Amino acid sequence: MSQTTAPPSSAVLRPTGPRSMLASMIAVELASGVTQQYLSPLLAGLGERAGITTAQQNWIYVIQTTSMAVFTPVLSRLGDSHGYRRVLRLSVAAVALGSLLMALWPDLPVLTLGAVLQGGVVGFMPLMIGILRNRGGEKASRTGIGILVSALLLAVGFAGILSGEVGAHDAGDGLWVGVAAGLLGCAACVLMPDGDPRPARGHHFDLMGFLLLTLALSGVVLALSQGGAWGWTSAPTLVCALVGVAALVVWPLMELRRERPLVDVRMFRNPRVAVLSTVTFFVSFATIGSLAANSTFLAASPGKAGYGMGLSSAAIGWVLLPMTAASVVSSLLTPALLRRAGERITVGAAGATTLAGFGGLVLWHGTLADYLVLSSFAGLAMGLFESATRALMVEAVPEEQTATAAGINELVLSLGVAVGAAAIGAGLSAHSGTDGRVAVGGYTTGWALCAIAGLAAAVVAVRLRGAAPAGAAGEAGAAVPAP
């Protein structure tokens, strides 16, 4: 008589092979990159079609930025507590729904609602990092993170060009690019293997922590993003800033008293987490926070402004591709660099290339060739920090806090972008004349700030210590206790 043998536990836990798992994750990150970038070239056309003013167009971005900042720790914490794949599927479905609503009814209220739902895109990377680490360990997660970051950056680089071409005659047609991306993400999630932690016993959602964090992030993001339009000393800006900062001060104090907080702020007592978070803030401040200002520089007419390249929106998209290519290459090479050159040098290189790129732009920005070469240094920095800090951040904490740690990294990145964009915008405003034209000194000031941020990141990276040996796991766990 033949006897049926139960499959090994690994077979039960691995409904798909490693390659299939990574392929499905790449598809999700491609959808993420498209979602984050496809709307940008369409807003002007949508404004003309639906009567949406420039200020209202900017408001859509403000709402989306705030939504991302709020969703980041929430989705990450839920993933650690209730399962990465489950929360990832809900996040992808919300983003797809938001994109569909925007394509069907492209007026201001629905575009705003869609932007809120699309904020769930920030959960994709932390949740998939949780699956990678849970199923493959730290070595596999480093390689996987590098590949996922390259897919994200590649999609971001091409999304604006694609949606711009599709929506060339009718901006509403370009919105369907986001719908296609959402469907791709949903289909990929069906193939996503399980990689979930056991649900925490007696887990409850930290509602007060969520509300206070929402108030803190909303106030800070609104003040930073709208300060230029409202006036940096105006009542709305000051009220938002004061409320946001006050809530941001109270929130961690309250979280320290919670048995199961929304975000375990004790993580920042870990020196590696603190250093990596600081590097992430400074490099994102420069490399991503400068993108909008760099686009306006490229669009400026040399005959009228005395600087710039006089490029169209479509041409700007193509000019940004070398930077995208550099970021993709560096993100793919990051795991090898971490292994051969070491963590300190690899992370420090992100700051050094930021300094080289933006420091060079301060001195040489008169030709397109200058911009292409120097912006490629910023691209190298972007790929290095996005891949290295994500991988090292999650390795610095216990496995059950993987998505939470990755979410903190995403949150710090978002804040770095917001602060960078605001600081650079303030520099442009300070060099703006009565006719609204910005003198070239506004751009050189902004690039100088970015170079200083790169230098700060490189200096801070020197303090990055090696990971604790396996035998010291208990000690590290004591320093950063699991909630």
- Note the pLDDT tens digit of each residue in 125-165: 888 888 887 776 666 677 888 889 889 888 988 887 888 78
Res 382 pLDDT > 90: yes
Structure pTM? 0.78
Look at residues 69, 81, 166, 158 and name the one whose alpha carbon lies nearest to residue 127: 81
Q: Which residues lie closer than 8 Å to 450 by C-beta, 6 or more apart?
A: 285, 286, 287, 289, 290, 354, 358, 420, 424
Q: Between 426 and 121, whose confidence is greater? A: 121
Res 281 pLDDT > 80: yes
Out of 2-11, 171-180, 309-318, 398-407, the most confident range is: 171-180
Identical fold for domains 17-196 and 266-467, yes or no, is yes
Q: Are the C-beta atoms of 41 and 163 separated by less than 8 Å?
A: yes
Q: Are the C-beta atoms of 444 and 311 separated by less than 8 Å?
A: no
Q: How far apart are CA 445 and CA 442, in angstroms?
A: 5
- Extended strands (E) in 226-265: none
Res 81 pLDDT > 50: yes
pLDDT band at 13 (very low <50, low <70, confident <90, very high): very low
Q: What is the pLDDT of residue 417?
A: 83
| pLDDT (average), residues 282-289 | 91
Which residue has tokens 């796991």? 473
Neighbours of 39 (CB within 10 A): 28
pLDDT band at 192 (very low <50, low <70, confident <90, very high): confident
pLDDT digits (tens, 9 = 90+) for 387-401: 999 888 888 777 777
Longest CA span, the chain: 93
Q: Where are the domains of the chain?
A: 17-196, 266-467
Architecture of the CATH domain 17-196: Up-down Bundle (1.20)
CATH code for the part of the protein at 266-467 = 1.20.1250.20
Look at residues 238, 210, 208, 206 and name the one whose alpha carbon lies nearest to residue 224: 238
Res 470 pLDDT > 80: no
438 beta partners: 432
Q: How far apart are CA 461 and CA 454, in angstroms?
A: 11
pLDDT band at 302 (very low <50, low <70, confident <90, very high): confident
Q: How far apart are CA 112 and CA 102, in angstroms?
A: 9
For the record, the structure tokens of 60 come out as 């859509």
Q: What is the pLDDT of residue 3?
A: 46
Res 39 pLDDT > 70: yes
pLDDT band at 32 (very low <50, low <70, confident <90, very high): very high
pLDDT digits (tens, 9 = 90+) for 93-137: 999 999 999 999 998 899 999 989 998 998 888 888 888 877 766
The number of CA neighbours under 13 Å toward the Cβ of 229 is 12
